[in-house]
Amino acid sequence: MIVTERKFGRMFSLRMEEGDEFYSGLVRFVKEKNIRSGLVFILGAFYECDIIPGVLLPSPPMPPVEWTRKHLTEWRDVHGQGYISWPEKEPETLLEKHRWKGAPEPYIHLHMSLSGGPAKWEEVYAGHLCDGCIKGMFVDIIELL
Protein backbone atom coordinates (compact mmCIF):
# COMPACT_ATOMS: atom_id res chain seq x y z
CA MET A 1 0.00 0.00 0.00
CA ILE A 2 1.22 3.49 -0.85
CA VAL A 3 -0.03 6.27 1.42
CA THR A 4 0.10 10.01 0.81
CA GLU A 5 -1.19 12.38 3.45
CA ARG A 6 -3.20 15.22 1.89
CA LYS A 7 -4.97 18.35 3.09
CA PHE A 8 -8.03 20.06 1.73
CA GLY A 9 -7.41 23.26 -0.18
CA ARG A 10 -10.08 25.40 -1.79
CA MET A 11 -13.62 24.17 -2.36
CA PHE A 12 -15.75 25.23 -5.31
CA SER A 13 -19.45 24.76 -6.05
CA LEU A 14 -20.34 25.25 -9.70
CA ARG A 15 -23.76 25.39 -11.28
CA MET A 16 -23.37 24.46 -14.91
CA GLU A 17 -26.20 25.73 -17.07
CA GLU A 18 -28.34 24.43 -19.87
CA GLY A 19 -26.39 23.96 -23.08
CA ASP A 20 -22.94 24.10 -21.46
CA GLU A 21 -20.43 21.55 -22.71
CA PHE A 22 -19.41 19.50 -19.71
CA TYR A 23 -15.81 18.38 -20.17
CA SER A 24 -14.30 21.42 -21.87
CA GLY A 25 -16.04 23.75 -19.38
CA LEU A 26 -14.73 21.82 -16.41
CA VAL A 27 -11.18 21.60 -17.80
CA ARG A 28 -11.20 25.34 -18.51
CA PHE A 29 -12.26 26.06 -14.90
CA VAL A 30 -9.60 23.72 -13.44
CA LYS A 31 -6.90 25.41 -15.56
CA GLU A 32 -8.13 28.91 -14.62
CA LYS A 33 -8.00 28.08 -10.90
CA ASN A 34 -4.80 26.00 -11.28
CA ILE A 35 -6.26 23.03 -9.40
CA ARG A 36 -3.42 20.49 -9.57
CA SER A 37 -5.23 17.69 -7.73
CA GLY A 38 -8.77 17.34 -6.51
CA LEU A 39 -12.00 15.45 -6.02
CA VAL A 40 -15.04 16.07 -8.23
CA PHE A 41 -18.68 15.28 -7.45
CA ILE A 42 -21.46 15.80 -10.00
CA LEU A 43 -25.25 15.64 -9.89
CA GLY A 44 -27.43 16.71 -12.79
CA ALA A 45 -28.76 15.88 -16.21
CA PHE A 46 -27.56 15.77 -19.82
CA TYR A 47 -29.42 16.32 -23.07
CA GLU A 48 -26.83 14.05 -24.70
CA CYS A 49 -23.60 12.49 -23.53
CA ASP A 50 -20.64 10.26 -24.39
CA ILE A 51 -19.77 7.43 -22.05
CA ILE A 52 -17.60 4.33 -21.78
CA PRO A 53 -20.06 1.91 -20.18
CA GLY A 54 -18.77 -0.85 -17.94
CA VAL A 55 -15.15 -1.89 -17.57
CA LEU A 56 -12.47 -1.49 -20.23
CA LEU A 57 -10.98 -4.85 -21.21
CA PRO A 58 -8.29 -5.34 -22.24
CA SER A 59 -6.57 -2.30 -20.87
CA PRO A 60 -4.05 -1.03 -21.80
CA PRO A 61 -3.97 -0.45 -24.70
CA MET A 62 -7.37 1.08 -25.25
CA PRO A 63 -9.75 -1.07 -27.33
CA PRO A 64 -11.17 0.44 -30.55
CA VAL A 65 -13.63 3.31 -30.08
CA GLU A 66 -16.50 1.32 -31.59
CA TRP A 67 -16.09 -1.31 -28.83
CA THR A 68 -15.95 1.10 -25.94
CA ARG A 69 -17.89 4.31 -26.63
CA LYS A 70 -21.58 5.01 -26.52
CA HIS A 71 -23.19 8.28 -27.58
CA LEU A 72 -26.59 8.80 -25.92
CA THR A 73 -28.99 11.39 -27.31
CA GLU A 74 -31.85 11.42 -24.81
CA TRP A 75 -32.20 13.38 -21.60
CA ARG A 76 -30.66 11.43 -18.71
CA ASP A 77 -29.92 12.05 -15.05
CA VAL A 78 -26.35 11.51 -13.88
CA HIS A 79 -24.48 11.13 -10.61
CA GLY A 80 -20.72 10.76 -10.51
CA GLN A 81 -17.46 11.27 -8.78
CA GLY A 82 -13.89 11.43 -9.89
CA TYR A 83 -10.41 12.82 -9.61
CA ILE A 84 -8.46 15.71 -11.11
CA SER A 85 -4.84 15.08 -12.07
CA TRP A 86 -2.25 16.50 -14.48
CA PRO A 87 -0.67 13.40 -16.04
CA GLU A 88 2.51 13.66 -18.09
CA LYS A 89 1.02 11.53 -20.87
CA GLU A 90 -2.33 12.13 -22.57
CA PRO A 91 -4.95 9.59 -21.38
CA GLU A 92 -6.23 7.25 -24.09
CA THR A 93 -9.81 7.71 -22.89
CA LEU A 94 -10.10 11.32 -24.12
CA LEU A 95 -12.49 12.01 -26.97
CA GLU A 96 -10.83 13.28 -30.14
CA LYS A 97 -12.13 16.83 -29.56
CA HIS A 98 -10.42 16.92 -26.15
CA ARG A 99 -6.96 15.77 -27.27
CA TRP A 100 -4.12 17.90 -25.92
CA LYS A 101 -2.78 20.61 -28.19
CA GLY A 102 0.74 20.52 -26.71
CA ALA A 103 1.56 20.84 -23.02
CA PRO A 104 -0.10 18.55 -20.46
CA GLU A 105 -3.58 19.53 -19.39
CA PRO A 106 -5.78 18.56 -16.47
CA TYR A 107 -7.44 15.18 -16.73
CA ILE A 108 -10.78 14.72 -15.02
CA HIS A 109 -11.44 11.00 -14.64
CA LEU A 110 -15.10 10.45 -13.73
CA HIS A 111 -17.08 7.35 -12.86
CA MET A 112 -20.82 7.76 -13.15
CA SER A 113 -24.21 6.17 -13.02
CA LEU A 114 -26.63 7.33 -15.69
CA SER A 115 -30.40 6.86 -15.79
CA GLY A 116 -32.33 5.52 -18.72
CA GLY A 117 -33.86 7.96 -21.16
CA PRO A 118 -37.52 9.02 -20.93
CA ALA A 119 -39.68 5.93 -20.27
CA LYS A 120 -36.57 3.70 -20.47
CA TRP A 121 -36.12 2.93 -16.76
CA GLU A 122 -34.53 -0.45 -17.54
CA GLU A 123 -31.70 1.21 -19.52
CA VAL A 124 -29.25 2.30 -16.83
CA TYR A 125 -25.50 2.69 -17.34
CA ALA A 126 -22.45 2.79 -15.11
CA GLY A 127 -18.93 3.47 -16.24
CA HIS A 128 -16.80 6.41 -17.34
CA LEU A 129 -18.19 9.80 -18.33
CA CYS A 130 -16.44 11.37 -21.34
CA ASP A 131 -18.54 14.45 -22.13
CA GLY A 132 -22.03 15.79 -22.50
CA CYS A 133 -24.34 18.68 -23.28
CA ILE A 134 -25.80 19.80 -19.98
CA LYS A 135 -29.46 20.21 -19.13
CA GLY A 136 -28.52 21.33 -15.62
CA MET A 137 -25.80 20.28 -13.19
CA PHE A 138 -24.15 20.93 -9.85
CA VAL A 139 -20.42 20.25 -9.57
CA ASP A 140 -18.43 20.33 -6.35
CA ILE A 141 -14.65 20.37 -6.49
CA ILE A 142 -12.41 19.87 -3.46
CA GLU A 143 -8.79 20.77 -4.08
CA LEU A 144 -6.22 18.43 -2.53
CA LEU A 145 -2.88 19.82 -1.39
Confidence of residue 68 (pLDDT cuts 50, 70, 90): confident
User: Which of 3.30.2020.30, 3.40.50.2000, 3.30.1330.80, 3.40.190.10 is the CATH number of 14-144?
Assistant: 3.30.1330.80
The full 3-state SS of 52-92, as one line of letters, equals EECCCCCCCCCCCHHHHCEEECCCEEEEEEEEEECCCCCCC
Provide the pLDDT for residue 78.
97
Highest mean pLDDT among 17-21, 39-43, 102-106, 117-121: 39-43
Domain ranges of the chain: 14-144
Average pLDDT, stretch 33-41?
98
Residue 133 CA from chain centroid, whole number: 12
Q: What is the pLDDT of residue 57?
A: 66
Q: Read off φ and ψ for residue 77, nearest 5 degrees.
A: -85, 150
Residue 63 makes CB contacts below 8 A (sequence gap 6+) with: 56, 57
pLDDT at 58 exceeding the cut of 70: no
Q: Band the pLDDT of 59: cuts 50, 70, 90.
A: low
